[in-house]
Amino acid sequence: MTHLLSTPTQQAVPRPGAVPTFAVISGKQVQQALDGREKELVELIEATYRLHGAGDSVNPPSYFLRFRDRPTARIIALPASLGGTTQVDGVKWISSFPENVSTGLPRASAVLILNDHDTGYPFACLESSVISATRTAASAALAADWLSRTRTRPRRVGFFGTGLIARYIHAFLAGTGWTFDAIGVHDLSADSVAGFRGCLREAGATGRVTVHDSAEDLIRSSDLVVFATVAGRPHVEAPGWFEHNPLVLHVSLRDLAPEVLLASANFVDDVEHCLKADTSPHLVEQRTGNRDFVNGTLNDVMLGRAAPPHDQPVIFSPFGLGVLDLAVGKYVYDQVARAGELRLIDDFFHDLRRYG
């Protein structure tokens, strides 16, 4: 049986000596808690990156579950612990099944478990595909801002891949004040392109929208390039396509060949996390035997320890940190709790008597 937390003053996070409770937060509730708060969420992600950079977090490697009979599919566990004022632990469990797209289902699905800082008891399970897309888009928008502060701010954006993540990134760019004279799109799926264009119209996007049949045309005509594909290996191999020195948000991590990265300035969210699992930066490390091609992290840029050059393409490759999911998930939990709308599961924890 479930019931709503009736008043916003009640707390579902266990207090010392209190009986732990467990809440389930639906995707609809998550969406309602996050909708229209792009600026606030980008600020939250920036604060979380700063906490992580200062060492006030634990973010071990992600764990990949792969399948011999489904080689394109995977499920990833992202455990993490976040300090600061958030003080929460947890894990995101996110699946990527590209074959879903052919049946009309989204590629990814996810849940997020939040654990109490003091007792370790899980206190909430949240639908997390929206949380994951939100933290990814907020991170991309944050990087676009910081990496263009010492360069000419892009006026032409190109989306390479037009699925859910591309829609969220556009929403976060627009929600944090970006406007564009031109918006380019490229995708192997005509349906995805049509859906993305429809979303742009509904959002009142400014700028002329152009569909590019050629990947090269999209890249060459864009000052800000967003890669949001499901590519498993590099498919963009020509450094010359980037000779106009665009800012590249390499969100899908495996689109660019090592030659492209070696001809560019490279920034990541976390070096240890990004250079693994055969990401494009990991392939560069395997080829060169070093990490000298990495100019720094986004936190280094925010702290003034690194700066993007003017005379090279600038590529941001974010692996996606579990601490970001925790920050957004706890934000959602607090919003739902304040509204008095937590759905608590009665008797989720059984036999809490220490000595029986």
Ranges in the chain annotated CATH 3.30.1780.10: 2-131+322-345
CA 28, 33, 36 angle in degrees (round to 5)?
110
- Specify the pLDDT at position 207: 86
pLDDT of 279-300, one tens digit each? 999 999 999 999 999 999 999 9
* pLDDT at 130 exceeding the cut of 70: yes
Q: Per-residue confidence at 7, pLDDT binned at 50, 70, 90?
A: very low
Q: Is the pLDDT of residue 265 over 90?
A: yes
Beta bridge partners of 159: 185, 226
pLDDT in tens, 168-198: 999 999 999 999 999 999 999 999 999 999 9
Quote the CA–CA distance of 284 and 261 in Å, as a whole number: 8
Nearest by Cα to 141 from 111, 108, 167, 176: 176
Q: Please, which pLDDT band fits residue 1 given cuts at 50, 70 and 90?
A: very low
pLDDT at 356: 56
Question: How far is it, in rounded angstroms, from Cα 79 to Cα 326?
Answer: 9
The domain defined by 2-131+322-345 folds into: ornithine cyclodeaminase, domain 1 (3.30.1780)
Tens-place pLDDT, residues 310-320: 999 999 999 98
The domain over range 136-317 is classified in CATH as 3.40.50.720? yes
SS3 content of the chain, % helix, strand, coil (to 5): 35, 25, 40
pLDDT tens string 46-65: 999 999 999 999 999 999 99
With vertex at residue 83, the alpha carbon angle to CA 80 and CA 84, rounded to the nearest 5 degrees, is 145
Report the DSSP pairing between strands 224-227 and 265-268: unpaired
Q: What is the pTM of this model?
A: 0.91
What is the predicted pLDDT for the residue at 337?
97
If you average pLDDT over residues 82-104, what whole number do you get? 92
Lowest mean pLDDT, pick from 111-125, 173-187, 312-326, 339-353: 339-353
d(CA 87, CA 57): 9
* 8 A C-beta contact, residue 185 and residue 158: yes
d(CA 159, CA 186): 6
More confident residue, 108 or 261: 261
CB atoms within 10 A of CB 133: 24
Q: Are 129 and 28 in contact (CB under 8 A)?
A: no
Q: Assign 199 to helix, strand or coil.
A: helix
> What per-residue confidence (pLDDT) applies to 15?
54
Average pLDDT over residues 26-40: 97
Mean pLDDT over each residue of the chain, to the nearest integer: 93
What angle is formed at CA 139 by the lines to CA 239 and CA 137, rounded to 5 degrees?
90
pLDDT confidence band for 339 (50 / 70 / 90):
very high
How far is it, in rounded angstroms, from Cα 220 to Cα 243? 8
Q: Is the pLDDT of residue 252 over 80?
A: yes
What is the percentage of the chain residues whose pLDDT exceeds 90?
84
CB atoms within 10 A of CB 112: 28
Residues of the chain with CATH 3.40.50.720: 136-317
Given a cut of 70, whether residue 355 has pLDDT beyond it is no
Mean pLDDT to the nearest integer, 37-45: 98
* CA distances from residue 78 to 90, 303, 320 in whole angstroms, order as listed: 8, 26, 9
Q: Contact at 8 Å (CB) between 156 and 131?
A: no
Measured CA to CA, the distance from residue 163 to residue 106 in angstroms comes to: 9
- ∠ Cα 12 14 19 (to 5°): 100
| CA 91/CA 1 separation, integer angstroms | 25
Please state, in angstroms and rounded to a whole number, the distance separating the CA atoms of residues 225 and 220: 9
Separation of alpha carbons 71 and 66, rounded Å: 7
